[in-house]
A and B are shown apart, each in its own frame.
Chain A
Amino acid sequence: METYYNPDDLKKFSHIGEFQKSMADKFFQYYGEVFKDGTLTEREKSLIALGVAHALQCPYCIDAYTSSSLEKGCTEEQMMEAVHVAGAIRGGATLAHGVQMMNQTKKLMM
């Protein structure tokens, strides 16, 4: 069945340079640098990426950073906590906008 998202396309991510090489090269160099051990470990960065992948709802990133987190020894519980962090921020961001709704309501209504 044809779908918009094809799991095999994840492997083709590195081919984006085919249409614009210099920017792709710069991006992948930067990307590689970002995920190296720094003041945060590679493991911590994988969990952050997993949470962000869920917030962005990117299926490629979810697959990639599920594998990456598992490879770095993360537990199922830690990974789900990362997803909850994403959920809490998304939910919080929605609810925080409720203040805007409240402000507008109060302005409009007697």
Chain B
Amino acid sequence: MKSLLAQEHLLSKSTEQLHVLNQNGFAKFRDKLTGIGLNPLKPTSIDIFQMNVGKMCNQTCKHCHVDAGPDRKEIMTKQTMQTCLEILSKHDIPIVDITGGAPEMNPNFRWFVEEVKKLGKHILVRCNLTIILAGKSYHSLPEFFAKHHVEIVSSLPHYTKFRTDRQRGDGVFDKSIEALTMLNNVGYGLEDSGLMLNLVYNPTGAILPGPQKTLQDEYKLKLKQEFGIMFNNLFVITNLPISRFLDYLLVSGNYHDYMSQLIDAFNPAAALGVMCRNTLSIGWDGYIYDCDFNQMLDMKVQGTSTHISEFDLEALSNRDIAVNQHCFGCTAGLGSSCGGQMV
């Protein structure tokens, strides 16, 4: 499967995605925020510095909001990483969340993790699991992660092969199980090891996710029973209607019902806790966004500090967060963030 960009698909353009999202007379996200006194949406604090270090990935998942894949060549340079390190050394931002694509495919990934660790930050890597088996040079990743006490967050959309492979590609489930076993073998996910291994569930289709606790209990039971795998937490994430998932919704005829579901399930409590209020998202080219989804829609932060070369924490802490119709994905039901449900 090729990325939308490689297919020269209309939806590879963020302007087209935003055009689709703003048709059909749906209630506007901004109006919903106004209704609960949250417009304009403002940051609470900047706790998470999320970096998308490249769109290259060894997988091409059907729902990917990044439109990542082997054919994507956008990669963060060492110089951009160096600028990020300078920012991190100057500011008290405790968490560095490294994502992609497959972030490990960035040639400077390990160097960067080591440098961030020297700054005493908590590091979180969004690892797709199969990368660990994608080549000899990646086989030592579990030991590398453990050495630097990196928190691992990995997608596993279901504990069955059928549903995981349908979303992430043939053979992904078996490789993910093998990679999880390797992570368990170095202590990840084991009680009292201090090595955090969190899994991510997102629905394999046009449905909202159920309660995190229910799904986590089921995952823990099944993965332990059938594969002897342990993990710490399950983060439940709603699929946002952008990029490949938007394409899927449109092609499958589910777009209208899915958007209606998201809007009907708008939850003010979830809106209060959306991740863009305590996160900055850095693109591979150094531009700054409110979240990874805004990044993929080319919606840069508002104000003067839009690139890391002109990073101004005070201005960013007081910015108006850019919102659009896709934001309904984060405020539906129990809410959704990179750390799972919020309510």
Please report A residues at the B interface, Cβ cutoff 8 Å: 11, 37, 41-43, 67-68, 70-73, 75-76
Contact = CB atoms under 8 A, between A and B. Distances in A.
Contacts of B208: 71
Interface of chain A, helix or strand or loop or mixed? helix
Interface of B: 158, 160, 162-163, 201, 203, 205, 207-211, 214-215, 217-219, 264
Nearest to B211: A42
A75 B214 contact: no
Given A42-B211, A43-B214, A75 B203 contact: no
Nearest to B160: A75
Contacts, number: 36
Contacts of B219: 73
Contacts of B207: 67, 70-71
B160 A71 contact: no
Given A75-B160, A76-B162, A70 B211 contact: no
A72 B162 contact: no
Contact of B214 (A11, A41, A70): A41
A19 B227 CA distance: 54
Given A70-B203, A73-B218, A42 B210 contact: yes
A75 B162 contact: yes
A73 B158 contact: yes
A74 to B, nearest CB: 9
A96 to B, nearest CB: 35
A76 B203 CA distance: 13
Contacts of A72: 210-211, 214-215
A66 to B, nearest CB: 9
A41 B221 CA distance: 14
B209 A71 contact: yes
25 contacts: A11-B264, A37-B214, A41-B214, A41-B217, A42-B211, A42-B214, A43-B210, A43-B218, A67-B207, A68-B210, A70-B205, A70-B207, A71-B208, A71-B210, A72-B210, A72-B211, A72-B215, A73-B158, A73-B210, A73-B214, A73-B215, A73-B218, A73-B219, A75-B162, A75-B163
